[in-house]
Amino acid sequence: MGDRRMKWFFLAAALATPQIAAAADAPAHLSLVAGYKAAFVCSARFNAGRTLEEIEDDELHRIYPDYREAMARLPDPVIDDEKKTVTVAFADGFPPRIASWRPFLGCVQSPSGATESVKAPRLARRAAPDNADRPWPVGDRLDREVFADTPQGFNLAGVVADAFDRKTYGAGTETTAVLVIENGTIVAEKYRDGFDMNTPQRTWSVAKSIAATIVGAAVEDGLVDIDAPAGLSQWRGEGDPRGAITLRHLLQMASGLDSTPAGNRTDNVYFGGGRVIDHAATRRLVSVPGSTWVYANNDTMLAMRALRERMKSEKAYLSYPFEQVLDPLGMDHTFLETDWNGDFIASSQVWTTARDLARIGLLYLADGMWNGKRILPEDWAAFVATPAPAQPPETGAPRPGYGAQFWLYGEEHGLPKGTYAARGNRGQFLVIIPQRNVLIVRRGFDDGGGFDIARFSADVLKTLETN
């Protein structure tokens, strides 16, 4: 084997275990970090229309601590606005990392080592209708003044403003958007400079709750049964114990699949250009399905993969979330990104706006109904908000429980019983409070999870009580 081929062999081997790679093979670690940079610059540029300076200040600032030093050493990305590609060089003798944009599906990474943009699946469909002049919530037109912008809403406006002060709800937190909805009406809406109702951000793990919504629509349509075996093709061999894993197990983070390293770090798929079928579907079973809760990005990706294997074609799979969920709700500023094999990376790689995210919440408050049409099964909201049999381990202080791709809050957190939420890295939240018919959306660029969403939500509710 020649020197050049040997280099590629060791690079590929190291990429299979990124935590080891960081110490053992610098080019492999740099490849992941360069993939991170290419992915975020591509998505923020072409999904959200942001400048490189803005991206460096937000999307590339306060990233994973183990990526920061390497990120600082990487050269500037090369952005091709015409081809809608981003490349990031990372080591002499290796091709740069490449990310390319597609309508509706956002950016996709080429596998590490690729010398050109991969021919990833594209979605040929008409653009969603312009909803700017349609009334909320299907459209964006508001027919009344936002309550917090009136003299009577002064107290609510004050609480919302405190979310942006970088101290009240967490030192150093960076809020970009807050949206409060009561009884279906927007009562507060505020954005940081450079953001507005049309600016999508990466949802991080809030995407998991969107994935659960898509699966719920598929249940309503009779495409899947959450209590039947998930049926992935890799698990159909005679005697394969993974054949017992159901969609319910996957949605409740109790698949029993190995999730090391940490289940919320699937860097090979997120930043390495890896495929879901190669990295998530090949995990071995380490506990009885349904018996143990482990937070795992793989479980969400596999739930979406199971849906794909029920579809008659790739086009049907890629179109389904838009036709059955996003389009009916008016979510026309949302991008569902995939790997280069066309599998949705719905554990994290969704870009959406505060208003589009609120529409998901309204669907749940309406028990799955939208404009007279049932999108989710009538018991789906109860399912995602009911504690799963296996729960996160106790840590002393009250921590949220887990349902099905949603986190569970209650009186022990200062919130009404039955509150549930979508949560994502860097401060992404959708809080659903059925007892009060209230939704709270908060978006940000925090360093980790420093924003106290429970206290903020409680303060919002107290203010609404007094008005």
Q: Indicate the average pLDDT of the chain.
A: 93
Same fold, 147-204+352-368+376-465 and 206-329: yes
The edge-to-edge listing of strands for the beta sheet with 201-202 is 201-202, 350-352, 335-336
Task: Output the CA angle 394-411-206, nearest 5 degrees.
Answer: 70
Q: Which residues of 117-148 are buried (b: 16+ CB within 10 A; e: fewer)?
A: bbebbebeeeeeeebeeeebbbbbeeeeebbb
Give the single-character DSSP code of 311. Answer: S
43-78: pLDDT as tens digits? 999 999 999 999 999 999 999 999 999 999 999 999
Provide the pLDDT for residue 17: 45
pTM: 0.93
Count of CB atoms situated within 10 Å of the CB of 161: 15
229-274: pLDDT as tens digits? 999 999 999 999 999 999 999 999 999 999 987 777 899 999 999 9
Tell me: pLDDT of 464 over 90. Answer: yes
CA distances, 199 to each of 164, 233, 276, 335, 344 (Å): 17, 38, 28, 12, 21
| 395: its two tokens | 């840590």
| 256: its two tokens | 């029993």
- Mean pLDDT over 133-147 rounds to 95
Looking at 156-160, 272-276, 446-450, which range is the least confident one? 446-450
Provide the pLDDT for residue 43: 99
Task: Indicate the fold that domain 206-329 takes in CATH.
Answer: Beta-lactamase (3.40.710)
**Cβ contacts of residue 225 below 8 Å, gap of 6+?**
219, 247
The tally of CA atoms less than 13 A away on the side-chain side of residue 317 is 21
Provide the pLDDT for residue 131: 84
Provide the pLDDT for residue 196: 98
Task: Output the CA angle 145-150-155, nearest 5 degrees.
Answer: 130
Query: Which CATH number applies to 147-204+352-368+376-465?
Result: 3.40.710.10
325-364: pLDDT as tens digits? 999 999 999 999 999 999 999 999 999 999 999 999 999 9
Do 192 and 279 contact (CB within 8 A), yes or no?
A: no
d(CA 190, CA 376): 30
**Length of the chain as a residue count:** 467
Domain extent listing, the chain: 3-109, 147-204+352-368+376-465, 206-329
7-42: pLDDT as tens digits? 443 344 444 444 443 443 588 899 999 999 999 999
